[in-house]
Each structure stands twice: as structure tokens, then as C-alpha cells.
Amino acid sequence: MSSETGKILTTDGIPLEVSLKKAERKNKIKAFLLVAPLLLFLLITYIFPIGDMLMRSVDDKMVTEMLPKTFKSMEKWDGNEMPPEEVFEAFYLDFQKLVEEKRDGKLSTQLNYTKNGFKSILKKLRRKAKNFEEGNYKEQIMAVHKRWADVEYWRAIKRRAPAFTSAKYLKGMDMYKNEEGEIVSVEEDRRIHRVLWLRTLEIAFFVTLLCFLMAYPIAHLLATLPMKYSNLLMICVLLPFWTSLLVRTASWMILLQQQGVVNDFFVMIGLVADDNRPEMMYNKTGTYVAMTQILLPFMVLPLYSVMKTISPSLMRAGKSLGGTPFITFWKVYFPLTIPGIGAGCLLVFILAIGYYITPALVGGASGTLISNQIAFHMKSTLDWSFASAMGLMLLAGVLAIYWVYNKLVGIDNIKLG
């Protein structure tokens, strides 16, 4: 319409759009100021750390900065034969500077990550370099240890030249770049991360499934029972929420251990022999049991909120039209709960995939997840960049699941309450 009549004007002759914007500007500013603290909070606590994580996971500047002259002189070197004299000289100068600043230890650690064997020859070089004469560094360095005459080691140094690296991500997938620059898997017996990823997915999947199977009837009961009973049941569902996660996990440890309550009960009713008590903790079983219990409310609540909105007259209509109770449930009730199922499953799965405390406490060796590995690298090996890389891989995985879900079900079909 506006294309025919041109711009619509208000009675004062100002274009309507301008006038509307002016009238709403104040409200918009007010609204923005109201959400500004949250935006700032998100920026500081969420976006900035993730950005920092991303930087850290690909950052490889340390070696680049420690050997500036070496890498500059290596630019012309093609890496096929031994590098020329100027590379050795540059390396000697860089190394001497590091020794003076007492930073050579860090260099040896870093280079040792790239190729084993650097630590000892750098130590030796440090000792011998004091007596080096000026000129012809190539021969002098090569004389320190036979590995210094091995071109592989020089190639290893050159590989550390770029300021950014994907090595941490490859390591997270049990892969690395070999000397030829190809991406290959590590040997069979050294693959630990792939197993962990698969186990994480597996446990998250089954925990989601178990939660769904248990939560559906509970939520249905909650939505259909009279108020006084449903309130009580709701409290039972929410009670775990109000208890500390640690306490809940610890109580599972008391219940599940070999001399624990559950095993005692099994022995009492004669299900298992006293001397043959099954291990239910420090393995996958413990992780399954404890995580399912802890994540159950996250499935119950979205399901409940959706079921609450389904009018009981729909089921009655289905029955009065001749549908058996099962057909009516399957054709009428179940499809209407799909938004709740989607929300609950997505929530539980995403929480399960990054779960940490419970698997750490009751998981043992076979029940730990990728997040425990991340924590291990954060706290024990202090390889923060690797931890960051794995964290981001986890995040990417979650986003991928979210994307797949959106394609399959549609995110607007989600209903959390």
C-alpha cells in the first residue's frame, strides 16, 4: 500500500516511520538499560572466557617468541637436508639468550612435546655451549650430540614456527601431524581420547534414554493427579534439586559400594552370594545410576509443563471416537508431548555430555567422561591449551547436536515451561 501512496505522514507532516521511531526510542533505551547488566555479565563471564579459551587452544606463540632469529633464518630452508650455517648460528644466539634469561627449560619442555629426545640434548648443549668458539656453529652444535646432526630434529623445530597450531585439537582426537605434515592417528594402544569421547556420548545417550523412560510416567502422573497428591509428588521430584550435588553423589557412594546398602539388600534377599558382591561403583554402572537420578528432574519438569497444557478432554475425545486407550495415547497424547520430550532430552543430553563431579566420584576408571579428562589437564598436567581445545570440541559437539535437533524437530517446537 505504501508503495502506491508513498510515505504515510502523521497529522504534523512528519513521516509516520520517523515519528514512530521517535516515540519508541525512549522505551528502547530503557529496555536496553535494563538488560545491559546482564549483557555485561554475559560478556565478562561467558563470551570473553570462551574467546580466551579459543585463543589458548590454538596459541603456539611461546616457541615462536623464544626462537625468533632461528625461525627467521629457517624461512629459506626447505627442510630436506641439514639446515645451513646461519640457522645454527641463529639458534645458538637465541638459545644463549634463553639461557641467560633462564628460560631454556621451558623451551626444552615445549620442543619435547613436538619430538621426544629434545630435553637431554638441549641440556647437553647448554653445558657445552659455554665453551663454544665464535664461528662455524654448525659443526660445534652437531658435535654436541648425534641427534643434533639428525635433520628430523631440525624439522621438529621448524614445525613449531607458526604462531598458531591445530595440534591440540588433533591430540584430542588421538591424531597428530607427522613429519611429512600428514594428519595420522596415534598407535592403537595410545588412543585414549577417542574411547573417552565415545564413552561420553554413549553414557549421555543412555542416561537420556533412562531419564526419559522414567520421567514420562512420573510427569504424566504429576499432570493428571489431583492437586494435593501432585504437589507432594512434585516435592519428591524437586527434593534432589534442593540437595547439594555432592551430597547426592556421596549418598550414591554409600548405597552402591560393595559393602553398601544395595549390596547388603541383594545379599539379604539371596540375589547374590555374600562373597560375590557385584561392583556397582567405580565403573559405568555407578555413573549410569547416579547421573540418571541426578538428571531426572531436568526431564520431568519440561515434560510436566507440556503435559499440564494437554486438555484431558482430548483423551476422552479419542476414546469416545472409538480409539482404544493405547491408540488414543499413541496418536493423540504422545504427539502432543513431543515438544516436552525434545526439550527434556536435549537438556539432559547436553548436561550429561559435560558432566563432571558424579563421574569423577563414582565413575572410577571405566566410568569417567571427557570432562574429567579436561579437568585432569587443567589441574594435573597444566596443559591448559589442550584442556581448552577439548572444552571447545565439547562445545562444538553440543552446538552440532543442537543444530541436528533443530533440523529434525525444529527448535521452536521446544517447550521448557
Q: Which residues bind another protein (CB under 8 A)?
A: 311, 313-314, 316-325, 327-328, 331-332, 335-336
Nearer of residues 68 and 312 to another protein, judged by Cβ: 312
Nearer of residues 45 and 324 to another protein, judged by Cβ: 324
Minimum CB distance to another protein, residue 343 (Å): 16
Nearer of residues 120 and 320 to another protein, judged by Cβ: 320
Dihedral, 72, 74, 77, 79 alpha carbons, nearest 10: -150
Phi then psi for 375, rounded to 5 degrees?
-60, -40
Minimum CB distance to another protein, residue 315 (Å): 9
Nearer of residues 165 and 328 to another protein, judged by Cβ: 328
In angstroms, rounded to a whole number, what is the distance separating the alpha carbons of residues 260 and 234?
A: 29
Minimum CB distance to another protein, residue 311 (Å): 6
Minimum CB distance to another protein, residue 345 (Å): 19
Nearer of residues 6 and 335 to another protein, judged by Cβ: 335
Minimum CB distance to another protein, residue 324 (Å): 6
Nearer of residues 334 and 403 to another protein, judged by Cβ: 334
Phi then psi for 175, rounded to 5 degrees?
-130, 165
Sign of the CA dihedral with 34 first, then 38, 41, and 47 last:
negative
Phi then psi for 134, rounded to 5 degrees?
-70, 140
User: Which neighbouring-strand residues pair with 59?
Assistant: 164
Nearer of residues 212 and 333 to another protein, judged by Cβ: 333
Question: What residues contact residue 177 under an 8 Å CB cut-off, 6+ apart?
Answer: 159, 166, 167, 170, 183, 184
Nearer of residues 37 and 322 to another protein, judged by Cβ: 322
In angstroms, rounded to a whole number, what is the distance separating the alpha carbons of residues 358 and 251?
A: 11
Closest CA to 368 of 200, 245, 253: 200
Minimum CB distance to another protein, residue 323 (Å): 5
Minimum CB distance to another protein, residue 312 (Å): 9
In angstroms, rounded to a whole number, what is the distance separating the alpha carbons of residues 151 and 42?
A: 49
DSSP 128-191: HHTTPPSS-HHHHHHHH-GGGG-HHHHHHHHHT-SSB--HHHHHHTTEEE-TTS-EEEPPGGG-
Query: Cα–Cα distances in Å, from 172 out to 57, 114, 195, 314, 388?
Result: 11, 15, 11, 51, 10
Do 169 and 386 contact (CB within 8 A), yes or no? no
Nearer of residues 42 and 314 to another protein, judged by Cβ: 314
**Residue at 225: amino acid letter:** L
Minimum CB distance to another protein, residue 417 (Å): 19
Instruction: Take residue 46 and report the three cell numbers written for it.
Output: 561467558
Minimum CB distance to another protein, residue 9 (Å): 36
Do 413 and 344 contact (CB within 8 A), yes or no? no
